[in-house]
Amino acid sequence: MAPAGNAYDEARAGQMWWPKYKMQVVVAALAVLIVGGGGAIYWATRIPASPFDRTAAASSTDLPGRGEYVARQADCVACHTVEHGAPFTGGLAMGTPLGAIYSTNITPDPETGIGTYTLAEFDNAVRRGVARDGHRLYPAMPYPSYAKMSDEDIQALYAFFMKDVKATRHENRPSDIPWPLNMRWPLAFWNIPFVDPHPFQPDLARDERWNRGAYLVQGAGHCGSCHTPRGLAMQEKALDQSSDSYLSGALLDGWYAPSLRDDPNTGLGRWTEADIASYLRTGRNRHGVVFGSMLEAFNNSTQFLSDEDLGAIAYYLKSLPGDPKRDGTPWRYQATGASSRAPSDGEKIYAARCGFCHGTDGLGRGPWISPLAGATSLLAKQDASAINIALNGSGRVVHDGQPDSYRMPPFRKLLDDREIADVLTYVRSAWGNTGSRVEPSDVSRLRESTNPSSPDVLILQMR
């Protein structure tokens, strides 16, 4: 056993070590923090490598025709052009929980647009979310989906913008997000877990048609941006069919984007491939008419796709299984016959305001006025779309340059919150529909946060 004095001396020597080397330890720790922090900032702000170089940029200028078709697939015009604005000059406001952000000028103007971008820099912006100067783009630009686009499509898209789009000077508007929340470099770390930087890889176990549909849906079409639920970090919970949450439906800007999976009630389970293709080609089918954000996608994008591509999209979507636990018992039509009971307030409002167009049987007036019996917006647990369209009506469907003569009118000035809640509760429970009750408070909230749909014909030009 060591003498007590020796143990005391050893303990005292250990206590004396810190004052003697304190400065060296602090300096070393600061050095590690500075080097590590500097390395992290460099990594976060670096411009990623691109498979393209300046030679490729020069040789790609013979592809503008194909690039225009790719631009239709990606629906670039819907976000980068505003009503009465020059094509692709930006300025569209997009709300976020932190403040509005605004789309940018993507014409080949050298000062306010992308006129000085090389193909590599254009590629980094579209597929990596990194601008020419290295700042990160907000993922309102759907680069997590565009990352799957092929090199060939990126080359064609670049050629279209540089050769066929008119260069227009238009200053970009900064976001309304306050400092320091508007700093972009943290997005580089957001990208690590939530963005797959690799282009689409065909599934060799599937045929060519399925792979073409998957490529369009997952990539340029960026269907998941609206139809896939998001996590706590506002990321899409899945980017392809490897997860059952992919395209399973999501709330978005006062609308509920329904499931695109084979769910019979709230998805595409009762739709055939021909139904899907017709909806994307003409804006309507026997089940419904485009509305909400899908109206913009149809007016500016899907109707311009080839029959082959629309068929491939439909083929791919019909391969995605539904979830019986999520969707419940499949809907079946039930006629609403005469009853000795007094009609509810909602039923009275329906008879006075809605029945002429949609029919007392809820079957609509096809092909122009959609049925309410079995409508996905009425069967969904989320009632946002039903409330929104009742309050604000629908915009004008424009097919082949011709505006639709029929549109759902807004009822926000004709009916109060309780009346809209009552009539929606009725139609969500009539004709075999199994939607839940609508509360006046939910109507009030959407009344305050949304605006009536415009009756104007809006056709966004790309040239």
Annotation: binding site? 76, 79-80, 223, 226-227, 354, 357-358
Number of Cβ within 10 Å of residue 57's Cβ equals 20
Name residue, tokens 């029929």: 406
Residue 429's nearest CA partner among 372, 388, 384 is 372
CA distances from 249 to 14, 329, 385, 389 (A): 63, 18, 12, 18
Distance CA 292, CA 93 (A): 16
Phi-psi region of 260 (alpha: psi -120 to 50; beta: other; left: phi over 0): alpha
Query: What residues does 262 pair with on adjacent strands?
Result: 321
Helix, strand, coil share of the chain (percent; to 5): 45, 5, 50
Which parts of 60-173 fold into alpha helices (H)?
64-74, 76-80, 119-123, 143-146, 151-163
- Residues contributing to the annotated binding site for heme c: 76, 79-80, 223, 226-227, 354, 357-358
Q: Which helix H or strand E contains 187, and what residues bound it?
A: helix 187-194
Chain CA centroid to CA 428, Å: 26
Instruction: Tell me whether strands 402-403 and 398-399 are parallel, antiparallel or unpaired.
Output: antiparallel
Helix/strand/coil for 51: coil
